Structure 1
Amino acid sequence: MSPKEPTEVEKGALGRRLKSAFAIVLSLGILIGGGVFAAVKVNEAYYAIRTVEDYIGDGKDDIEVTVPKGMSLGGIGTLLVKADVVKTTRAFSQAVNDEPDASKIQAGKYRLKTQLPAKTALSMLLDSNNLVRTKMTLQEGLTVTQSVAIMAKAGGLEQSEITTALKDASKIGLPSWANKNPEGFLFPETYELPQDPTAVQIVSLTTKQFTKVTNSINFSGRAGENKVSAYQALIIASLIEGEVHTSEYQTKVARVIYNRLAKGMNLQLDSTVHYAVGKSGTVTTTDEDRKNSSPYNTYVHKGLPPGPIGSPGQSALEAAIAPDSGDWLYFVTVDLDTGETLFTSSYEEHEANVKKFQDWCNAHSGRC
């Protein structure tokens, strides 16, 4: 039996249904297309509005901007606009309103970029890694005079300002047993300076670190175990630092110093002669140098010099209060490259060791 052909009535009903479906599809297309069109237009309008008040993207050129101490968030916004970091103060204010930690921005110099979105700029200001840090390094064994020059340069100050600050023992935090003498108390370390530091702030960083380190090793208490005062132990530490820089040898040099003091022998340390005559950059002394009448010259005067001859590092401080055991009375560094130092209780052996040093010096012209 063949399929029944649709009647004319049925054909008309089908046509009407197809037309209705087409109309619905067409309407949906118009609505969807219009929605997409509208969304595109809204998006374009958003970016148009945003770029009037704020930058977009990742920024343009590197720039450093200094935020002064005590500046308000509004002032920071104005500062950033002037530097072309952000486009408008309004954009920055909005970013601030959206950030609970905005008030934690520190004073200082920051590495930023020009033409940043305000939110990005604010985020960078809150990241301490973007701070430009001014560092100052004091090496072990430096005298006050040498340290003053480094401090002044690092802080952008006159040397006279540092020198004046050093005279006020209470302001710079010298311990009472320093006898108001800063020599030896400017601890060798790398320091991060604050923004626009004062002379007192710079010096205080070093004396505060000295106190921190000496307290951590009970320096004053352990000095007494060696029958010396804390100040005498500091003098000994400065002598150790002036002679050798390797901790292994520093404890042995400390023992030589204590042994010679116990026997009433002159210390005869070239480092004290260098301090007395104001020499640096050499390890040897001349006959004339060793005849200098300065109380710091341990060839002329018995016992310890009247004060430290420089700032010792922690290993030298520890050596002064915990010397090695031994009967050594003499020592000499025989290789300035490796720092190899020989110790003996025999003068004849010492003379032989000195000959090794002289041979090294002859083989390395200009080094001694």
Structure 2
Amino acid sequence: MPEDLHDFFNDDVWDDGTGADHPGPGGGAAPPPKPPRSRRDMRRRRRQQRRKRLIVVIASIVVVALCAGVGVFAVGKIKQWRRSTLADTAVVDDYPGPGEGRVAFTVESGQGVAEIAEGLQRADVIKSVDAFTSVVASNAYTLYPGTYELKRHMKASAAAKILSDEGNAKGFVEVRQGERLDDVLKAAAESSGIALKDFEDYAGDASKTGAILPACAKGKLEGWLEPGVYNVGEDPTPASILQQMVQARIEKLNALGVPEGDQSERILIVASIVEAEVNSQDYYGKVSRVIENRLKDDMPLGMDSTVAYGFKIKGTELTNEQLNDGSNPFNTRVNKGLPPTPISNPGDDAIEAAMHPEDGDWLYFVTTDLKTGETKFTSSYDEFEKYVQEYKTNNEHAN
């Protein structure tokens, strides 16, 4: 009610559109005001006014949105024009190809496209950075690390195509954790282009390897190659490549707090066995404890992984004759104690387990399920026999 009364007596309700102060015809007194509108008329008028205001607000929003859209469209067109202009310029600043001579160019891990392009330009492989980056962007190329054989004065598209094919990359060699020395040498020979025999001759000569290895390794590289990716370089040699791996291993052992001297060699031997025996780091600490318990009780380690290493085969390829061959110095079924050297290049987790075995009295373990890798540990020989039967049953079902 108060609102209606306020509206009722508002000046607007008396306004007839001519104005109360305006004189009437002939300059005489103004006619009396018309009687007030009904409350229904007043409410209808207020609704009309609100609709008008709403329409004005909506129209304003639409105008602002249209202006913003036009701005975004214009910016997009400008950027497109700039890209088009750069592409056109790149074509002008490109060599016609196919190029001449030979250039060994290395793409380092982590380098960006612009950085690679700048290196190519400095090497006089391409004429301009823009030409190369434009080709890479328009074709969505991925550039891979490695050393490539290119030419001077190449067309940018030709150079980009070579660098985007991982099969053309050379000059990087990877050492995987748990990988044997023989496999590392093969990968290094393939990546460097050096004959495998040159690597084997170098690795087998203790007078040469002794120059890069700690004295406790006794000239044997196995176990002393740190897992990782290494740059072969422009003028590689077996010594230069393997020295990188050995140096990285020494630095890692120091970082992990591995004692120096004979203890470091012993830890690498144990770690290599640990990693070879089970396929889950969850069991590394327990396997390490089994090894220590057996050594303490003067028992043979009985590890098939060491026997297989001595014959340079996989554990699944062992025969009963080989398992009983004591002439194999790595046969820990027959010969007590640790094998002469590590049997692989173990990773950090296995090394940690070798330094810090879990607490327990286990003497035996069996991987009962080859699919899941489930491994069971015990100090009882009778229980060990049960686990062996479980392994055989699961293996028969698997086949």
Q: Which residue of 304, 321, 338 maps to 1:270? A: 304
Does residue 169 (structure 1) correspond to residue 209 (structure 2)? The answer is yes
Q: Which residue of 340, 347, 355 maps to 1:313? A: 347
Counterpart residue type for residue 183 of structure 2: Q
CA RMSD of aligned residues (A): 4.0
Can you give the 5+ residue segments of structure 1 that lack an aligned partner in the other structure?
1-50, 88-106, 125-130
CA distance 1:200–1:56, change in 2 (3 Å): same
Where does residue 56 of structure 1 map in the other structure? 92
Counterpart residue type for residue 322 of structure 1: H
Counterpart residue type for residue 287 of structure 1: N
1:230-264 Cα offsets, whole Å, 9 max, x none, are 22222111111221232211111000000011011
- The SS at the match of 2:331 is coil
CA distance 1:116–1:349, change in 2 (3 Å): closer
Can you give the 5+ residue segments of structure 2 that lack an aligned partner in the other structure?
1-88, 106-117, 129-145, 161-167
Q: Which residue of 301, 322, 325 maps to 1:289? A: 322
- CA distance in structure 1 between the aligned counterparts of 2:381 and 2:104, rounded to whole angstroms: 64
- CA distance in structure 2 between the aligned counterparts of 1:244 and 1:329, rounded to whole angstroms: 15
What are the equivalent positions in structure 2 for 1:235-250 lying under 5 Å apart?
235-250=269-284
- The SS at the match of 2:92 is coil
- CA distance in structure 1 between the aligned counterparts of 2:359 and 2:254, rounded to whole angstroms: 24
Task: Report the identity percentage.
Answer: 32
Q: Which residue of 256, 280, 295 maps to 2:290? A: 256
What are the equivalent positions in structure 2 for 1:325-336 lying under 5 Å apart?
325-336=359-370
- The SS at the match of 1:331 is strand
Task: Report deviation, 1:330.
Answer: 0.4
How high is the TM-score relative to the length of structure 1?
A: 0.63
CA distance 1:63–1:213, change in 2 (3 Å): farther
Does residue 302 (structure 1) correspond to residue 336 (structure 2)? The answer is yes
How high is the TM-score relative to the length of structure 2?
A: 0.59
Q: Which residue of 127, 132, 145 maps to 1:86? A: 127
Where does residue 10 of structure 1 map in the other structure? none
Contact 1:65–1:109 (Cα < 8 Å) also in 2: no
Contact 2:293–2:362 (Cα < 8 Å) also in 1: yes
Q: Which of 320-329 and 149-158 deviates more?
A: 149-158
- Matched pairs, number: 273
Higher relative contact order (CA 8 A, sep 6+): 1
- The SS at the match of 1:190 is strand
CA distance 1:335–1:138, change in 2 (3 Å): farther
Counterpart residue type for residue 319 of structure 1: A
1:179-214 Cα offsets, whole Å, 9 max, x none, are 111121122323333234221122112212211211
1:102-144 Cα offsets, whole Å, 9 max, x none, are xxxxx96488995569xxx9xx9xxxxxx96643222233322
